[in-house]
Amino acid sequence: MKRIGIGIIGCGGIASAKHIPNLLKDKRVEIRGICEKFNPDRARDTMERFSLSSCALYEDVGELLARGDVDVVHVCTPNCEHAPLSRLALNAGKHVMCEKPMATSAVLAEDMASAAEASGRKLTICANNRFRADSWHLKRLCDEGALGEIYYAKAHALRRRGVPTWGDFLNREAQGGGPVIDIGTHALDLALWMMNNYAPKMVLGKTYQYLGKQKIEANPYGGWNPDDFQVEDSGVGMIVMENGATVLLESSWMLNYRHEKAGKITLCGTKAGADMDDGLTINGEHNGRMYDQRIELEPPAIPFYAMEDQFGPALEMRQWIDAVENNSEPVVLPRQMLVVMRIVEGIYRSAESGQPVLL
């Protein structure tokens, strides 16, 4: 069996914690090259840790893309490099999985989607919350019409304390923003995916930068220099869709708010509602009585037998390789994530102007 050759661009935490170990679970693929121009020593350590003895290390992305036996490229770099590197890889004839967010602007995201269409190669963006068991089940219910028409949703990406102080997360130019673009994209993608609604009309947004300018000691990832905190520490957005549906996005790395909700959504439909507050719960009315139905997602345990990883990053990688191998559409489509990027950009533009932004 001919194995699918993988190239990894960027060897930071997301590559070593998610992409590499879960790709190695799939016998259809082989990691053949890693490009790391900023920290080759870290890449060598990663290759040794995962026993990637046949994998080559590059500091020049062009050398990796020139390899004929590299079919697929995973872009795991800071946000500002997502669009240019993805475009280079697509133009070189490679299929591309790019980490979220898709880009740092809607124009660059559009450029990526257009490059994929022009090249005939596949492009997907990492929206890993779609591959959880609760998300997978709720999407099936939504597609079957169990909730009816979903006209109101909340996308929650709230951390009480959770500022990522490593890498370039606090650098506006490198990342494009703070929690709205970082984790807000995850929750917003979930809401739009469940609603199957990608036609936003306007957005009203507000961002805050209060706690980031303080010395906070309770952050689990360590402290920071307040002068270096260039992005928002929290932000909210109200999105009105063309059909009248409304989505509220709330996102924070830091907020004095007791109930953390990261990567969760609340849906309100004409037949029923759903939330992920305490597991997946469906609510509605039946025979004149209101009900709350808690969905049991954990399969019954069988003594002495370990369950295979059915959901999470393993499923995300497996579905992506399925799309490449079978020439089918990936679960996460680039133009879906382009809409997410347009909304995120609209929130930032609205926050700057103090006015609603028409999309």
Confidence of residue 9 (pLDDT cuts 50, 70, 90): very high
Report the Cα 25 to chain-centroid distance in Å.
21
Instruction: Give the residue among 232, 261, 258 at the shortest CA–CA distance from 249.
Output: 261
pLDDT computed for residue 300 by the predictor:
63
Please tell me the least confidently modeled range out of 14-23, 120-129, 186-195, 290-299.
290-299
How many degrees, rounded to 5, is the angle at CA 15 between CA 12 and CA 17? 100
pLDDT computed for residue 84 by the predictor:
98
Confidence of residue 330 (pLDDT cuts 50, 70, 90): very high
Q: Which residues contact 175 (CB under 8 A, 6 or more apart)?
A: 78, 79, 80, 104, 168, 169, 181, 182, 231
- Name the pairing type of β-strands 234-241 and 289-294: unpaired
Q: Are 71 and 94 in contact (CB under 8 A)?
A: yes
- Please check the confidence at residue 306 and state whether its pLDDT lies above 60: no
Confidence of residue 298 (pLDDT cuts 50, 70, 90): confident
- Please check the confidence at residue 125 and state whether its pLDDT lies above 60: yes
Give start and end residues of each alpha helix (H) in 144-279.
172-175, 179-182, 184-195
- Please check the confidence at residue 210 and state whether its pLDDT lies above 70: yes
- Please check the confidence at residue 308 and state whether its pLDDT lies above 70: no
pLDDT computed for residue 135 by the predictor:
97
CA–CA distance, 273 with 280 (Å, rounded to integer): 11
- Please check the confidence at residue 1 and state whether its pLDDT lies above 90: no
Tell me whether residue 115 is exposed, middle or buried, using C-beta atoms within 10 angstroms of its C-beta: 0 to 12, 13 to 18, 19 or more. buried
Cβ-count burial 122-143 (b if 16+ within 10 Å, e if not): bbbbbbbbbbbbbbebbbebbe
- Please check the confidence at residue 310 and state whether its pLDDT lies above 90: no
281-286 β-sheet, strand order: 289-294, 281-286, 273-275, 261-269, 150-158, 246-252, 234-241, 200-208, 357-358
pLDDT computed for residue 302 by the predictor:
62
CA–CA distance, 328 with 347 (Å, rounded to integer): 33
Give start and end residues of each alpha helix (H) in the chain.
13-14, 20-23, 40-49, 61-65, 82-91, 106-119, 133-143, 172-175, 179-182, 184-195, 313-326, 334-353
pLDDT average, residue stretch 177-199: 98
pTM for this entry: 0.94
Sign of the dihedral defined by the CA atoms of residues 76, 82, 85, 88, in that order? positive
- Please check the confidence at residue 59 and state whether its pLDDT lies above 80: yes
Question: Domains of the chain by range and CATH?
Answer: 4-129+312-334 (3.40.50.720), 133-309+340-358 (3.30.360.10)
CA–CA distance, 157 with 125 (Å, rounded to integer): 18
Q: Are 78 and 103 in contact (CB under 8 A)?
A: no
- Please check the confidence at residue 333 and state whether its pLDDT lies above 60: yes
The number of residues in the chain equals: 359
- DSSP letters of 244-298? S-EEEEEEESB-S-SS-EEEEEEEEESS-EEE-BTB-EEEEEETTEEEEEE---S
Residue pLDDT, tens place only, 73-112: 999 999 999 999 999 999 999 999 999 999 999 999 999 9
Please tell me the least confidently modeled range out of 16-20, 24-28, 130-134, 305-309.
305-309
* DSSP one-letter code for 161: B
Confidence of residue 141 (pLDDT cuts 50, 70, 90): very high
- Please check the confidence at residue 123 and state whether its pLDDT lies above 60: yes
- Please check the confidence at residue 4 and state whether its pLDDT lies above 80: yes
Report the Cα 307 to chain-centroid distance in Å.
26
pLDDT computed for residue 352 by the predictor:
98
Tell me whether residue 77 is exposed, middle or buried, using C-beta atoms within 10 angstroms of its C-beta: 0 to 12, 13 to 18, 19 or more. buried
pLDDT average, residue stretch 316-338: 98
CA–CA distance, 174 with 232 (Å, rounded to integer): 14
The more confidently predicted of residues 344 and 307 is 344
- Please check the confidence at residue 115 and state whether its pLDDT lies above 60: yes
72-75 β-sheet, strand order: 56-58, 29-35, 4-9, 72-75, 95-98, 123-125
Instruction: Give the residue among 71, 150, 80 at the shortest CA–CA distance from 320.
Output: 71
Residue pLDDT, tens place only, 223-263: 999 999 999 999 999 999 999 999 999 999 999 999 999 99
CA–CA distance, 81 with 14 (Å, rounded to integer): 15
pLDDT computed for residue 307 by the predictor:
57
pLDDT average, residue stretch 58-68: 97
